[in-house]
Amino acid sequence: MPSAREVEPFVGKLGSAISSELQAAQQRLLQLRAQLHASRSQSGELQVSISEAKKGNERPFTNTLSFSQLPSHLGWESTAVTQTVRRERPQQANQPSATAVSTETAVSHPPTLPKQIKLYPDIAIALLRQEQAATGRLWLLLQAVDVARCGWVDERRARQLFTSRRGALRFCGTRQLRNLLAQGDDIFWVRGNGRIWLRSVARVAIGLDIPRLKMRPVALPVSVLRQKIGMVRAHLYASFHSSRTRPNHRKKPISRETVEQLTEVQPRTQRRYERKAKVKRQAQFAIGATASPDSLQARGWEQGWATFQFKDFKGRQGPQGKSYVAWQLPNSYVGPHAQLPKGHQKRINRTLTDLFMQGMTGNGQCPSVARRFFDNGRLAAKSYLRNSEQDHYWRIVGNQRYQLWQVMESCNLK
């Protein structure tokens, strides 16, 4: 019986002519079939030689093996041939050759470092308060390097990333990194077996005397942590304002004295940090009773040089052209960082409650401030009935430059 490649091609019905293009295509098909049959037979012989060599503990190939001798469908695409040639011809470094074939079939890329890191403003303020901004920066960078969230970073890799000239997160020298690692032991990390074992957020909060995380976390760019320490301190401070400003809520005033009480940052330093971190400010003004010598004098004793006389030319507060007592309130601020979901913040606070020593909570680290500013008059009046010894404000109109507030004056001024 004739083989497949000896069968004559079908030429159609009797009496019908076949074009020369069709005949050429049929001849090409027969040639491809013959080549496929030959390659399959060679492949079968090759597999037999490999199996025989394995049984006799012999190597089927020698160092003189040429890939041009193999069929076109073999080579690195064949698993058996690849493994055999790898054992026979190990990779030789620093010996370039025109006919050399690389044995590396895949390139392992390091994990991509994140562009942002989750920062809790309570921890950021504690770093400024205890002058731990340098070691805190290293702890945040190590968290960014730990992409797999395994809880540790290889010390050699950290040294390469943070101190090498080509390091992706270079910010200091080898000696400075060694000093920082020594300073942060038992607070931010524990070292052992060539690894830096990172402390959790709860453990770090305990080490910094933080009884509870109250503020919403923000996204801190990793590129900021590579800059000078003054810029890092500025962004740690700015995270306080970024956490206070909610996305769908309007800003509320806060005095520099209150900020100093909460963060222990002096007003002069606050202004410098705000310029570096690009914290936005908005002026706030309050409009009180009708202007008279007595009302101006009483408010002047309370507000000092911030008091002035406001004349309502458009008649929005009452009769057109009438004057009122007005004074400037503390500014409102908008931080440069985006807010993040709280995530495991409740779980962290439960851990802090369990681990903190009894009597430590409420030790005055984060004092509470009486609320004076409200979004509407109803909330202001409700709070005023409970505490009428201080002014209560609610917002009325405003724009991008300023915000106006109405006031329920303290009973001490009446």
Residue-wise pLDDT for 89-127, tens only, equals: 555 444 444 333 333 333 445 678 899 999 999 999 999
Co-location of 286 and 272 in the same domain:
no
pLDDT at residue 358, as a whole number: 45
Domain annotation covers residue 413: yes
- C-alpha distances out from residue 397 to 252, 280, 312, Å: 13, 19, 14
**H or E stretch covering 268:** helix 267-277
Q: What are phi and psi of 99, to 5 degrees?
A: -105, 5
Domain annotation covers residue 13: no
Co-location of 79 and 25 in the same domain:
yes
Domain annotation covers residue 6: no
Domain that holds residue 218: 115-279+335-363
Co-location of 206 and 326 in the same domain:
no
Domain annotation covers residue 7: no
d(Cα 200, Cα 181) in Å, to the nearest integer?
A: 16
DSSP strands (E only) in 267-372: 280-290, 307-312, 322-334
* Sign for the pseudo-dihedral over CA of 21, 23, 26, 27: negative
Co-location of 55 and 153 in the same domain:
no
Co-location of 310 and 323 in the same domain:
yes
pLDDT tens, residue by residue, 246-268? 765 667 889 999 999 999 999 99
Domain annotation covers residue 100: no
Domain count, the chain: 3
Co-location of 226 and 350 in the same domain:
yes
Contact 289, 295 (CB under 8 A): yes
d(Cα 147, Cα 153) in Å, to the nearest integer?
A: 10
Co-location of 130 and 270 in the same domain:
yes
In the chain, the amino acid numbered 167 is G
pLDDT tens, residue by residue, 229-243? 999 999 999 999 999
Residue 288: CB atoms within 10 A of its CB come to 23
pTM: 0.65
Domain annotation covers residue 262: yes
**Backbone φ/ψ region at 321: left (φ over 0), alpha (ψ -120 to 50), beta:** left
d(Cα 283, Cα 276) in Å, to the nearest integer?
A: 20
Co-location of 235 and 298 in the same domain:
no
Domain annotation covers residue 159: yes
The DSSP 8-state label assigned to residue 307 in this structure reads E
Co-location of 162 and 218 in the same domain:
yes
Domain annotation covers residue 54: yes
Tokens at 289, concatenated: 């009773």
Co-location of 379 and 316 in the same domain:
yes
pLDDT tens, residue by residue, 363-406? 444 445 677 778 777 888 888 888 887 888 877 777 767 778 87
The DSSP 8-state label assigned to residue 8 in this structure reads P
Co-location of 180 and 142 in the same domain:
yes
Co-location of 319 and 219 in the same domain:
no
